[in-house]
Amino acid sequence: MVAEADGPLRRVLVPTLLPEKCYDQIFIQWDLLHVPCLKILLSKVLGLGIVAGSLLVKLPQVFKILGAQSAEGLSLQSVILELVALTGTMVYSITNNFPFSSWGEALFLMLQTVTICFLVLHFRGQTVKVCYAVVLLVLLLPLTPPAAVTLLQASNVPAVVVGRLLQAATNYRNGHTGQLSAITVFLLFGGSLARIFTSIQETGDPLMAGTFVVSSLCNGLIAAQLLFYWNAGATHKKEKEQ
């Protein structure tokens, strides 16, 4: 009976959440406190949870812009730089054959960020002139030199820092956070913190881990501003309505 029950469970967990040896260690030998295998399991669950959550993480921001029919308070330069950083992470991860659970949210966040970029431009009466899809396809081609892909990932750190500082400067200059979505900001902050652990565990790549450390610090700054300007945002909204 144990062997029969073991079959379906093994097919579900291996290799999605656990390698074969860890499955045997935990479920056959019942070594429930095997730390290396538990770290792998935690990393996989966290990674897949982040990927699943990324499907919705920026939708509150999209709906807030659409509901207000305004992108006030959002820095276009910050959105574009975030798009560059997400592209770098995605291309670098695909090129290095990292598991999807370690970078998959970059794909869904990229699609949502493109939407936000379009909305910001739309409500400013500007025309989209950037052929983003073409650039992305070129970067994903096997002909792209690995050195160029690594350089793109390395550029993520300055792109994230400059992008978040531009948004922070916009918030400071306005004295409020405008249409910036608190839900989206706090989810991004939590996700980037969790990604530090999963990137170390699943990729062992210091460049990936370093990027998420910097991203967490920068997202934390924007989250802190949201809390600081919370009442100021409500006051600004009332003044605008009057």
Report the percent of the chain where pLDDT is more than 90: 35
CA 49/CA 193 separation, integer angstroms: 13
For 177-204, write each residue's pLDDT tens digit.
888 999 999 999 999 999 999 999 988 8
Is residue 3 domain-resident? no
Q: Which of 109, 108, 105 is nearest to 48 (CA)?
A: 105
The total number of residues shown for the chain amounts to 242
Is residue 30 domain-resident? no
> What is the per-residue pLDDT for 1?
40
24-33, 50-59, 64-73, 96-105: the lowest-pLDDT one: 24-33
Cβ-Cβ contacts under 8 Å for 187 (sequence gap 6 or more): 53, 57
Q: How many structural domains comprise the chain?
A: 1
Q: Which of 160, 3, 27 is nearest to 87 (CA)?
A: 160
Q: Which domain holds residue 44?
A: 37-235
Interior angle at CA 193, CA 188 and CA 199, nearest 5? 110
CA 43/CA 32 separation, integer angstroms: 16
Is residue 84 domain-resident? yes
Is residue 175 domain-resident? yes
CA 176/CA 160 separation, integer angstroms: 21
Is residue 163 domain-resident? yes
Asked whether residue 127 carries a pLDDT value surpassing 80, the answer given is no
CA-atom Rg of the chain in angstroms? 21
Is residue 21 domain-resident? no
Q: How far apart are the first and last CA of the chain?
A: 72
Half-sphere exposure of 123 (CA within 13 A, CB side): 20
Is residue 11 domain-resident? no
